[in-house]
């Protein structure tokens, strides 16, 4: 039933000073002058999760030009911009410290440097809808209706007017946000055409403000703008920004070398994040990477469930089967091997590795160690002996940051040296060094065919049916899945708490619809993402049709990483 806003004011007057549960009376839909207000869920306590509201505004009133959302990528960029605008206006308009606990606050998703598909603002052909949370104010557990009235009748309309009305927005900045995002999307689609796996535009600013801030360093910090070496420079014409030049990293095996603190890992981190689009002014707007690129590292202590790590590890003591390897406490080498195989299982086409976060014995064994520990006593085939096979047989490229092992020169297609944050193509020098100083180590058996065996998750292992426990998230890095804590600290391309919330729901959605004991993990995730493409990200929400405003779209790779790390997971082949 649709009610007038005067009815909402009347209800607030009636419940003023009563116990907090009386707030339940305001749930419903109300018509304001310019928009409809949906109060979908009312919290039961000032300390509970805040109430969920939606504001729906007809397009003819908002006045946003249709060409700003006439494609999926433009719509995503516009929704992202409007979410940021609402967040800013909340900070400018809303009062602080009203009431007890979480009461008295209006909130919306907080966005980082990346432009993600979100559920906080949704644009259709007919309307714009903003999904917010509101802590209904109380003193203790006594309703403060006058403050609630101030929030709903004064602050909320101002936020909407300043955030969703086109005439009140910075039109130039809004258009630039949309067009820059579209250009990044286009640029990423061109990578395969140019036979490259990553592109870093000239003029990019790669260093970040600090270890806890993802904002760029500024020119006042004497930061150097990225300039491609001539041998790797290519030019691509963008639909909005015109021609752009930068460094193209070719398909194959690429090493990033250089001295300490010269920018090797900084470049790799920018490439890691290049799977996402970035806001104008980030410095990495035109650093793009193939969409399936995955950062791989050692991850001591993680759970592994029946992963075929035999291309890297075999002949373990006690006849442990590495074709179906399981452990509750992986070592550095077994975890890194499993991380690579799991990435290949979900069709990743680019592996990103940093020597600093890799297991040393997984990456290489030099000649002296080979002499001391003979091959028959060493179960590990190091990555150096498999990296070319991964490309030649599977078409999967690798970008590897190295500072300590020149043996990799022999297997690399390209060597890039970072010198004071500037790249140099030193491939010819590296190959000449390889010729002059031959490697003494022996290459281990190259007979592996690298066949990736798909695994099938078993539904009973993931079921929470009959348990009182729930699935909830704690920050970006942790999902509480029933009684199991799922730690995602080392899944480095999971970047937003709202992505983590979506991952938690995607697992449950997949369990209801697609995890049936017959479909492979790769197929299951593909089916979920197909539903999201068809019905929107709202489809995974338990609040479907009401207020699924807290989610951002994760990639296939991070969904798989989460499922693979569940300590309750069981699979079959």
Shared-domain flag, residues 25 and 139? yes
Q: Which two tokens stand for residue 110?
A: 């907080």
Q: Is residue 326 assigned to a domain? A: yes
Q: Is residue 240 assigned to a domain? A: no
Domain endpoint, select from 116, 136, 169: 169
Judge contact between 191 and 288, C-beta under 8 A.
yes
Shared-domain flag, residues 61 and 120? yes
- CA–CA dist 451, 465 (Å, integer): 36
Helix (H, G, I), strand (E, B) or coil at 448: coil
- CA–CA dist 464, 482 (Å, integer): 7
Shared-domain flag, residues 444 and 460? no
Q: Over the range 225-254, which residues count as b (16 or more CB within 10 Å of their CB) and which as e?
A: ebbbeeebeeebebeebeebbbbbbbbbbb
Q: What is the pLDDT of residues 317-349, one digit of tens each?
A: 888 899 999 999 999 999 999 999 999 999 999
pLDDT score recorded for residue 22: 97
pLDDT score recorded for residue 445: 65
Shared-domain flag, residues 385 and 515? no
Q: Is 376 exposed, middle or buried (0-12, 13-18, 19+ CB in 10 A)?
A: exposed
Q: Is residue 233 assigned to a domain? A: no
Q: Is residue 207 assigned to a domain? A: no
pLDDT score recorded for residue 467: 57
Q: Is residue 331 assigned to a domain? A: yes
- CA–CA dist 286, 278 (Å, integer): 8
Helix (H, G, I), strand (E, B) or coil at 336: helix
Domain endpoint, select from 425, 453, 481: 453
- CA–CA dist 230, 96 (Å, integer): 54
Q: Which residues of the chain have pLDDT under 50?
A: none
Q: What is the mean pLDDT of the chain?
A: 94
- CA–CA dist 472, 475 (Å, integer): 10
Q: Do you know the residue count of the chain?
A: 573
Judge contact between 440 and 370, C-beta under 8 A.
no
| pTM across the whole model | 0.95
Half-sphere exposure of 420 (CA within 13 A, CB side): 3
- Return the DSSP state at 13: H
pLDDT score recorded for residue 447: 65
* Tally: H helices and E strands in the chain: 16, 30
Shared-domain flag, residues 449 and 460? no
Q: Which residues contact 377 (CB under 8 A, 6 or more apart)?
A: none
Shared-domain flag, residues 436 and 464? no
Q: Is residue 217 assigned to a domain? A: no
Q: Which two tokens stand for residue 534?
A: 């068809």
Q: At what angle do helices 497-513 and 521-535 cross, to 10 degrees?
A: 110
Shared-domain flag, residues 507 and 561? yes
Shared-domain flag, residues 508 and 448? no
Q: Is residue 88 assigned to a domain? A: yes
Shared-domain flag, residues 449 and 505? no
Shared-domain flag, residues 333 and 416? yes
pLDDT score recorded for residue 566: 97
pLDDT score recorded for residue 535: 92
- Return the DSSP state at 469: -
Q: What is the pLDDT of residues 231-280, one digit of tens each?
A: 999 999 999 999 999 999 999 999 999 998 899 999 999 999 999 999 99
- CA–CA dist 367, 188 (Å, integer): 41
Q: What is the pLDDT of residues 342-401, one digit of tens each?
A: 999 999 999 999 999 999 999 998 878 877 887 777 889 999 999 999 999 999 999 999
Domain endpoint, select from 402, 418, 453: 453
Residue 388 is part of a domain; what is its CATH number?
3.40.50
Shared-domain flag, residues 449 and 483? no
Domain tally, the chain:
3
pLDDT score recorded for residue 446: 61
Q: What angle do CA 302, 305, 307 make, to 5 degrees?
A: 105
Closest CA to 396 of 324, 486, 292, 495: 292
- CA–CA dist 473, 508 (Å, integer): 13
Q: Is residue 104 assigned to a domain? A: yes
Q: Compute the Cα dihedral for 14, 20, 24, 29 and give only its sign.
A: positive
Report CA-CA distances (Å) from 186 to 36, 123, 155, 191, 223: 36, 22, 39, 9, 28
Judge contact between 135 and 166, C-beta under 8 A.
no
Domain extent at residue 289? 249-453
- CA–CA dist 537, 532 (Å, integer): 5
Shared-domain flag, residues 323 and 344? yes
Closest CA to 561 of 483, 484, 477: 477
pLDDT score recorded for residue 466: 63
């Amino acid at each position: 039933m649709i009610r007038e806003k005067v009815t909402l004011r009347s209800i607030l007057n009636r419940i003023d000073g009563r116990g907090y549960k009386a707030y339940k009376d305001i749930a419903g839909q109300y018509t304001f002058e310019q928009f409809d207000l949906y109060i979908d869920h009312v919290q039961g306590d000032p300390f509970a999760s805040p109430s969920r509201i939606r504001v729906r505004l007809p397009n003819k009133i908002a006045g946003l030009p249709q060409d700003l959302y006439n494609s999926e990528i433009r719509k995503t960029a516009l929704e992202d911009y409007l979410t940021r605008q609402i967040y800013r206006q909340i900070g400018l308009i809303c009062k602080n410290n009203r009431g007890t606990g979480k009461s008295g606050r209006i909130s919306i998703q907080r966005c980082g440097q990346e432009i993600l598909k979100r559920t906080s603002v949704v644009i259709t052909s007919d309307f714009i809808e903003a999904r917010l949370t509101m802590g209904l104010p109380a003193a203790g557990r006594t309703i403060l209706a006058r403050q609630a009235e101030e929030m709903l009748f004064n602050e909320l309309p101002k936020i909407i007017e300043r955030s969703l009305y086109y005439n009140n927005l910075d039109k130039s900045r809004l258009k630039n946000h949309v067009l820059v995002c579209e250009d990044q999307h286009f640029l990423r689609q061109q990578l395969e055409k140019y036979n490259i796996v990553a592109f870093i535009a000239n003029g990019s600013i790669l260093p970040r403000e600090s270890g806890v801030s993802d904002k760029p360093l500024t020119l006042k910090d004497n930061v150097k703008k990225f300039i491609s070496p001539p041998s790797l420079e290519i030019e691509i014409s963008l639909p909005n920004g015109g021609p752009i030049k930068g460094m193209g990293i070719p398909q194959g095996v690429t090493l990033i070398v250089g001295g300490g603190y010269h920018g090797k890992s900084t470049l790799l981190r920018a490439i890691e994040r290049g799977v996402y689009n970035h806001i104008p002014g980030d410095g990495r707007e035109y650093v793009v990477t193939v969409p399936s690129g995955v950062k791989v590292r050692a991850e001591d202590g993680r759970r592994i469930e029946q992963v075929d790590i035999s291309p890297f590890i075999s002949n373990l003591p006690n006849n442990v089967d590495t074709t179906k390897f399981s452990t509750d406490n992986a070592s550095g080498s077994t975890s890194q091997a499993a991380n690579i195989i799991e990435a290949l299982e979900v069709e990743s086409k680019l592996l990103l590795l940093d020597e600093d976060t890799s297991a040393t014995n997984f990456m290489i064994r030099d000649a002296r160690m080979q002499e001391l520990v003979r091959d028959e006593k060493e179960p590990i085939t190091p990555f150096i002996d498999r990296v070319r096979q991964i490309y030649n047989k599977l078409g999967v490229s690798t970008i590897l940051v190295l500072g300590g092992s020149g043996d990799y020169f022999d297997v690399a297609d390209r060597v890039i040296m970072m010198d004071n944050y500037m790249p140099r193509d030193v491939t010819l020098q590296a190959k000449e060094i390889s010729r002059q100083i031959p490697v003494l180590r022996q290459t281990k058996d190259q007979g592996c065919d690298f066949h990736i065996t798909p695994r099938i998750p078993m539904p009973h292992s993931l079921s929470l049916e009959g348990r009182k426990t729930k699935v909830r998230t704690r920050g970006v890095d942790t999902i509480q899945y029933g009684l199991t804590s799922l730690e995602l600290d080392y899944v480095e391309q999971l970047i937003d708490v709202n992505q983590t919330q979506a991952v938690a729901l995607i697992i449950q959605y997949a369990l209801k619809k697609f995890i049936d004991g017959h479909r492979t993990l790769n197929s299951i995730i593909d089916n979920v993402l197909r539903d999201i493409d068809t019905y929107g990200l709202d489809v995974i929400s338990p609040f479907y049709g009401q207020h699924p405003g807290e989610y951002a779209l994760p990639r296939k790779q991070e969904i798989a990483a989460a499922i693979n790390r569940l300590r309750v997971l069981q699979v079959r082949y």
